[in-house]
Chain A
Amino acid sequence: AQSVTQPDIHITVSEGASLELRCNYSYGATPYLFWYVQSPGQGLQLLLKYFSGDTLVQGIKGFEAEFKRSQSSFNLRKPSVHWSDAAEYFCAVGAGSGGYNKLIFGAGTRLAVHP
């Protein structure tokens, strides 16, 4: 069965520092991969997604992620974190028939940003 692991439950970085959030997935074929962000009191917002092609994908708010098949990973990165990036981040993989029908989410990584 498809699954997603986010090894880091909580990460704290200083404003202006670089960020990498880890995500590992389990899926037999080429996965559909996503990163969502949930800010306090807000719904989940899609940051970026990968389906095929270039393994480095760009998203909103200056985020990017790199698909590495050999490592079954899809890590999220940002070169310089802003205080407004403090939120919870979820990695997800498309699952179900053909990988199409539903998303399976990881447990999330809560990001705190120090001034």
Chain B
Amino acid sequence: GAGVSQSPSNKVTEKGKDVELRCDPISGHTALYWYRQSLGQGLEFLIYFQGNSAPDKSGLPSDRFSAERTGGSVSTLTIQRTQQEDSAVYLCASSLVVRANYGYTFGSGTRLTVV
């Protein structure tokens, strides 16, 4: 696609429910990144993919968070048993390759609210 697409754009869920957030990167981009943006906290790195592999998942906050990427394209971030502190904007970005100097293209994010 022309840009990075994320869905849904907004998600309200009840505490304890599972949620799935989707990211569709730019076609041909091998690198895909997930960040979390909490109010006043800046962007927190979660995980990145090179193809379908995740060499660095050091930013995932707990084992309730997981992510996968299939076909070198779409990625899904899953949060199990959501908690109120999971409320944030989840941003996805893609890059042609895993090199910071190539620059990232960000999606518009998914705003997750846990009530």
Query: What is the interface of chain A, defined by CB distance below 8 A to chain B?
Result: 6, 9, 32, 34, 36, 41-46, 49, 51, 90, 92, 94-96, 99-108
Which residues does chain A contribute within 8 Å of B106, judged by CB atoms? 36, 43-45
Instruction: Identify which of A44, A94, A107 contacts B40 (C-beta below 8 A).
Output: A107
Would you give the shortest CB distance from A6 to chain B, in whole angstroms?
8
Most buried by B among A6, A41, A44, A108: A44
In the assembled complex, B43 has its CB within 8 A of some CB on chain A: yes
CB pairs A–B below 8 angstroms (23 shown): A9-B40, A32-B100, A34-B100, A36-B106, A42-B108, A43-B106, A43-B108, A44-B93, A44-B104, A44-B106, A90-B43, A96-B56, A96-B100, A99-B100, A100-B99, A100-B100, A101-B56, A102-B45, A102-B100, A103-B100, A105-B35, A107-B40, A107-B42
Which residues does chain B contribute within 8 Å of A43, judged by CB atoms? 4, 91, 106-109
A106-B42 in contact (CB<8A): yes
B45-A100 in contact (CB<8A): no
In the assembled complex, B33 has its CB within 8 A of some CB on chain A: yes
Query: Contacts A49-B101, A94-B100, A94-B101 known; A103 to B109 CB distance under 8 Å?
Result: no
Most buried by A among B43, B99, B100: B100
In the assembled complex, B71 has its CB within 8 A of some CB on chain A: no
Would you give the shortest CB distance from A112 to chain B, in whole angstroms?
15
A107 to B48, CA, bound (A): 20
Would you give the shortest CB distance from A3 to chain B, in whole angstroms?
11
Which residues does chain A contribute within 8 Å of B48, judged by CB atoms? 101-102
Instruction: Identify which of A49, A92, A94, A102 contacts B56 (C-beta below 8 A).
Output: A102
A101-B42 in contact (CB<8A): no
In the assembled complex, B8 has its CB within 8 A of some CB on chain A: no
How would residues 72 to 111 of chain B score, 1 for a CB under 8 Å from any chain A CB and 0 otherwise? 0000000000000000000101000011110110111100
Q: Which 6 A-B pairs have the closest CB atoms?
A: A94-B100, A107-B42, A105-B43, A43-B106, A44-B106, A43-B108
